[in-house]
Amino acid sequence: MKSEWVLTQEDFDRLLQWLDPDRDQAAEKYEKIRLRLIKIFVGRGCGDDAEELADKTIDRVSRKLKAGDVPGPFVGDKAIYFQSFVNNICHERIRDRQPREIPQPPSHSEDIEEEHAYLEKCIGELEDEERWLIIEYYRFEKTAKIEHRRQLAMQLGIEVKPLRLRVFRIRTRLKHCIEDCRAQAPSN
C-alpha cells in the first residue's frame, strides 16, 4: 500500500528557496504558480477538486526537490516544471475515480418502444440545425463514419474535434431530456 507523502515545513522552505532566494519573491511566485495550476485543472474539467490537485502537484515537485530529482541547475520559468506534472495528475484522478454505473438497455420490447418514443420527442425539441447534425453524425458505421464525419466537419467549416464537442453537447442534452421523460412517465 502506497503511503501518502506529507509536505513538511522544511520541504516547503526548500521549495520556496528553489523558487527564489528572496523569500517574499518566492512566496509571490508560489501563489502565482498555485493559481495557474488551479486554472489549468479547472480548464481540464477538474473544477470540483482543482485546488486539491494543484496542492498535489506542488507536493510532487517538493518531493522531487527533496529527493534531488529536479533537473539542476534549473534554468527558465520554474512554473513550467510544475505544469509538467499536470497530465499525470489528471490521469491519476481519472483512474482513481469510481467507475460510473452503465445503464442497462431495456429488456422488454415495450420498454424499447418507450425509449424510442422519448428519443423522438427529445430530438424533435432540438433546433433544426442541431437535429440535422446529430442525425448526420451517427448516420454511418465503422470505417464509413470516419470519412463522413471528416466531410461533415469540412462542410461546417470546422475541424473534427470541435465537431465532436458540438455533438457531445447535443447528446448530453438529449440524455437529460430522455431522463426527464422517464421521470415524468407514469409508473406501471
CB distance 90 to 54 below 8 Å: no
Residue 23: CB partners within 8 Å, gap ≥ 6? Answer: 16
pLDDT per residue as tens, the chain (188 positions): 344 667 788 888 888 988 988 999 989 999 999 999 989 888 887 777 888 889 999 998 888 888 877 666 666 788 888 888 888 888 888 777 656 566 666 667 777 888 889 999 999 999 999 999 999 999 888 888 888 999 999 999 988 888 999 999 999 999 999 999 989 988 65
Give the residue carrying C-alpha cell 534554468.
Answer: 75
Give me the CATH code for the 109-184 domain, please.
1.10.10
Closest among 114, 141, 181, 138 to 130, alpha carbons compared: 138
Domain boundaries, the chain: 9-96, 109-184
- Start-to-end CA distance of the chain, whole Å, equals 49
Sign of the torsion formed by the C-alpha atoms of 155, 160, 161 and 164: positive
Distance from C-alpha of 38 to C-alpha of 51, rounded to nearest angstrom: 6
**Count of other CB atoms within 10 angstroms of residue 100:** 6
Distance from C-alpha of 54 to C-alpha of 44, rounded to nearest angstrom: 12
